[in-house]
Every structure is written in structure tokens, then in C-alpha cells.
Chains A and B, each alone.
Chain A
Amino acid sequence: MPAETHRVVAAVEVKNLWKVYGHVEALKGVDLTVAEGSFLTIFGPNGAGKTTLMKVLATLARPTDGSALVGGHDVTKEAGAVRKRVGVISHNTYLYPQLTAMENLAFYGRMYGLKRARERSTQLLEQLGLATRMHDRVATFSRGMQQRLSVARALLHEPELLLLDEPYTGLDQHASRILAGVLEGLRDGQRTVVMTTHNLQEGLESCDRVAILARGRMVFEEAAAEVDHSGFQATYFACVERAWGR
């Protein structure tokens, strides 16, 4: 057997990725490989290109140059295959306020072509502690509950890759703690997670790899075990400042 067949396909493989919006260069040649089953946290200041990177991986934004593969599938050429494999949680919940929790999940279940959407939804709602409110409209939910429901929506089709784009934004401390617990539960060693955040504390807790994105470039990447947690803040600022040429 040739050696190549044994090679494990990386969950995410990004090569020299550029994204230019008009005159704004959001990503300037990003390289990134995420191994299957790992949890990567990408830190970066606002405007670093974190959301753009996530949008490219989620097929919402088309790369200007370079390539991005998710589970071996190209985000532009095989967008459909990538979409099936990716779940996204962002500060936008993607939920319809006039529909109930169950209706929202049923709708997205239909969109993903799931066979047993109802069972799966009920199971997820129970898991996330929303079972009692499943027939209430999302508009009546607190921000924290909406975000948990958004987690259920993202997990509905059992994605191989979970993209978390600033999932803590807009949540109070209590809701953040609950969400952190939920996300901790997602680490089963099979699902790959990529999270972006500018919050150093929350980001470091759950991941096993750390990266820093600044001004559209990956300026730091290290295994979480190798990173000195107490000194990470200093590392972060040094990286960001260097990227800004100061």
C-alpha cells in the first residue's frame, strides 16, 4: 500500500489565504493546519481578520487568493460538501425570533436534509437545558438561552468541524460560564473545533493549540501545553504590537 493512503486528512488546511474587501486586505497570506479532533483557539484584536477567516472556512466569503480545505474539500469548488461538515456558532444566533425553539431547529434540520430532525432536536434541547422552553418563541428567550439554542442549531447535523466566532460576545458572566461548560462538553476527541476570541482568559481554558492572528497574518502558533498561561498576555501583546510595526 502506498504511504499516501495512510496520511490523515487534516480537518482544516489553509494555504496562503488572501481575502480583500474592496480596498481592505482582511487576510494577507494565512497558512494554517488544524489536525482532526483538536481544539484551536485563534486570538487577535478587532479587525485582525478572525471573522473573515471563519467566513471563508464556512463558505460565506470567497477567498481572493490561496486555498482553504475543510476535511479535504475545497471551500469554493466543493462548497456543498464543506457546508455539510461545518457548524458555526457566532455572536449572531441565526435564529428566527418569531419561531419557537423547536421550529427553528426543525427548519434548519430540513435545510441540512436530516432524516430524524425532531428526535435529534429534542435530544439536543434536553442536553442544553432548553427542553422546557422548546415550544416558546425565541424572541422571549434571554441572550444566554438564545446562544445555547444557537449551539443546538450548529450541532444539529453533527458537523465534523465546529467554528466558534467570538461565541462569548454579548453574554453576561453567568451565561458565559454555562456556554463554556457546553463547549467543554464538545471535546470528545473526534470533533475539531476552531474558536476565535479576543478574550484571553476564556480562550486559553479549553483549547489544545493556540494561534494569534494580527493584521491578516498568523503571527504565533503553539501547542497549548507549551504556552505559559500566566505569561501569555505579555506574549500576545508583543505579537500584536510587532505586527503593527511598533
Chain B
Amino acid sequence: MGPVNALGQAWAITKKDLVAELRGASTIVSMVLLGLLVVLVFNFGTDPGAKDVTLARSGVLWAAFLFAGVIAVGRSFATEKEAGCLDGLLLCPVDRAVIYLGKLVGNLILLFVTGLVILGFFTVLYNVGLGAGSAGLVLVMALASIGFSAIGTLFAAVGAGVRARDALLAVFIFPLLVPLIIAAAHVSTVLLAGQGLGGAGLWPWFLVVYDVIFLAISFMTFDFVVEE
């Protein structure tokens, strides 16, 4: 089977996940709500009169994204486990990399959409005039979603067979995501301060490199995670 067919199959997995998600609609709602709650709660912790709050603000944005994201990746394999569907998927004559890719893209879309919703509310609640920076922020959101999804999908498959999944998942993946969050927070601070993406220096590229490294490792090791 050719690579085109493999991509088609990966997309079929993604589509199946998204359709199931839209019909259940449970994950994305709780993701968005949790993200908004984080934005709200942090608001009480920051001094509204402070002079330079952009740094703190972008921190709030990414903390909200982080917490919402854990729910997404945690759910993605939990549903597969319910009627033994993960086994059903593994029975199919498709490469494990194709399955990983399919799940990854599904999570990626979910994360990205949630991130955008959080971003939208964030700009309204904090009175941030985005203007020129908005395209840059969307790009950073996309890059962060890729890295998060790469690691999250890998370890969600780990967590699927494990007790007390969601809380533990956060403990496993947050430390690994530190560089991602630092880079994303830095770039968004620059953008929120009204500078263009050029003001962020090499940081956007750092995000790209991070994504590539962890995508590569995840593709190499996913086989071992789902094997019995």
C-alpha cells in the first residue's frame, strides 16, 4: 500500500475521532471551560494596576492551554479503551505509525481549536488589542499544539492502561513540556507587547525544532507503547 493510502487511513482515524467527539462533545466543552476558569482564577491573582503585566498575562494564557490540553489527550485513548476499540484498531493491517499519526492529528485539531477559543476570550477579558500580532499568536498556538500533541498522544497511550489517568498524565507530561511553554510564553509576550514576530528572534524556530525532535522520537517509540 502506498503512502497516499496510509495518509488516507490516518485521516480516517482522525475523522472518526472528531466525529465521535462532536457527537459526544464532552471533551471540548470541558477543555474550554477549564481553560476559561484558569484565565479567570489567575485574573484575581494579578494586580490590574500593575505597569507591565504582559509577561504575567502570557503566562496565564499558556497555563490555561496546558490544563485544557491534558484533558484532551487523556480522553483520546480512554474512548478507544471503552469497547476494546484500541485492540480493534491494532488488529487492522495498518502500520502503528499510521495509528499514531491519526490519533496525533485528532488531538492536534482539538488542542488547536481549544487554544484559539481560550485565546479569543483572553483578548476580550484582558483588553488586549492584538492587531498585527494575531497571526503570529495563531502560529505559535499551532506550533505549541503540535509539540503538546506529539508528547501527549504518546503518553496518553501509556496512560490508557493505567489507573488514575488524568492527574498522572499531567505529572508525566508537564515537565517534558517546559521548553515548549517557555518558548511559547516568550513569543506571545513579545507579540502582546505589540512587536511583530520578528521581535521574538529565534524562539519560533526553537518551537519548530522542539516539535520535530519529539515527533521523531514519538514515531520511533509508539510501537513499544501499544504492543503487548
Contacts and interface: CB of A to CB of B under 8 A. Distances in A.
Interface in B92-133: 92-94
B92 A108 contact: yes
Nearest to B228: A61
A98 B23 contact: yes
Nearest to A90: B84
A111 B83 contact: no
B91 A98 contact: no
A3 to B, nearest CB: 33
Contacts of A80: 93
Contacts of A110: 8-9, 12
Interface in A68-112: 80-81, 83-84, 86, 88, 90, 92-99, 103, 107-108, 110-112
B92 A112 contact: yes
Contacts of A97: 82-83
Contacts of B24: 98
Contact of B88 (A59, A81, A84, A108): A108
A96 B16 contact: yes
Contacts of B89: 94, 111
B212 interface: no
A167 to B, nearest CB: 13
Contact of A107 (B1, B16, B79): B16
Nearest to B1: A113
Interface residues of A, number: 30
Contacts of A95: 83, 85, 88
Given A96-B16, A110-B8, A83 B93 contact: yes
A62 interface: yes
Contacts of A113: 1, 5, 9, 93
Contacts of B92: 83, 108, 111-112
A161 interface: no
B91 A88 contact: yes
A98 B12 contact: no
Interface residues of B, number: 26
Interface in A146-174: 153
B218 to A, nearest CB: 21
Given A55-B228, A60-B87, A93-B84, A99 B93 contact: no
A49 to B, nearest CB: 14
Contacts of A107: 12, 16
B52 interface: no
Contact of A62 (B19, B23, B85, B228): B228
Contacts of A137: 23
Given A96-B20, A103-B19, A60 B84 contact: no
Contact of A58 (B20, B79, B85, B91): B91
B29 to A, nearest CB: 15
Interface in B166-187: none
Nearest to A80: B93
A86 B85 contact: no
A161 to B, nearest CB: 12
Interface in A98-142: 98-99, 103, 107-108, 110-113, 137
B227 interface: yes
Contacts of A94: 83-85, 87-89, 91
B90 interface: yes
22 contacts: A55-B228, A59-B90, A60-B87, A60-B90, A61-B228, A81-B93, A83-B92, A84-B93, A90-B84, A93-B84, A96-B85, A98-B20, A98-B23, A98-B24, A99-B23, A107-B12, A107-B16, A110-B12, A111-B12, A111-B89, A113-B1, A153-B88
Interface of B: 1, 5, 8-9, 12-13, 16, 19-20, 23-24, 79, 82-85, 87-94, 227-228
